[in-house]
Amino acid sequence: MHKLGRKRAAVAVVSTAAALLLGAAPAMASTTSGPVIVDNRDPRCATAGNLCVFETEWFTGRAALYEGVDTGCVTAPFGVLANINMTDKPVTFYKNADCTGASVTEPAGNLHSWESRGPMFSFVS
């Protein structure tokens, strides 16, 4: 192989390695995927393993989808007044953005709204 061919091969190997590392980096940081802002009728909200949160108690307005919710504190993109919890664990929603304050726990495989409690701004699974 001549000099130019070796350089191209080396660049290709380095580029591929960098792409693989960069592609894996977000997955290592957290197993939670989201939020993805979705239509409030998105069928993924009813898919096993997912959590959808809604801006209103009527499951309308803005909606955010979380896939593969982990156990760390997650700050919601807006005040949450309803959820569809299709995970296999209960999810606790908190009044403050740092998983503190008044809370409400929703069981696995359940949907619920809580207008009387006001919006929640974070959650833990």
Indicate whether 23 and 40 sit together in one domain.
Answer: no
Indicate whether 61 and 117 sit together in one domain.
Answer: yes
Indicate whether 9 and 59 sit together in one domain.
Answer: no
Indicate whether 63 and 86 sit together in one domain.
Answer: yes
- pLDDT at position 101: 96
Indicate whether 23 and 35 sit together in one domain.
Answer: no
Indicate whether 14 and 40 sit together in one domain.
Answer: no
pLDDT digit string, tens, across residues 33-63 = 678 999 988 999 999 999 999 999 999 999 9
Indicate whether 16 and 60 sit together in one domain.
Answer: no
Please provide the average confidence, as pLDDT, over all residues in the chain.
Answer: 79
Among 92, 83, 86, smallest CA distance to 109 is for: 86
- pLDDT at position 33: 62
Query: Looking at the 3D structure of the chain, how many domains does it have?
Result: 2
* Percent share of the chain, pLDDT over 90: 62
Indicate whether 49 and 5 sit together in one domain.
Answer: no
Indicate whether 59 and 104 sit together in one domain.
Answer: yes
Measure Cα distances from 74 to 66, 96, 119 in Å.
Answer: 10, 11, 15
CATH at 81: 2.60.20.10
Contact 44, 64 (CB under 8 A): no
Overall residue count recorded for the chain in this entry? 125
Range of the domain at 13: 1-30
Model confidence, pTM: 0.72
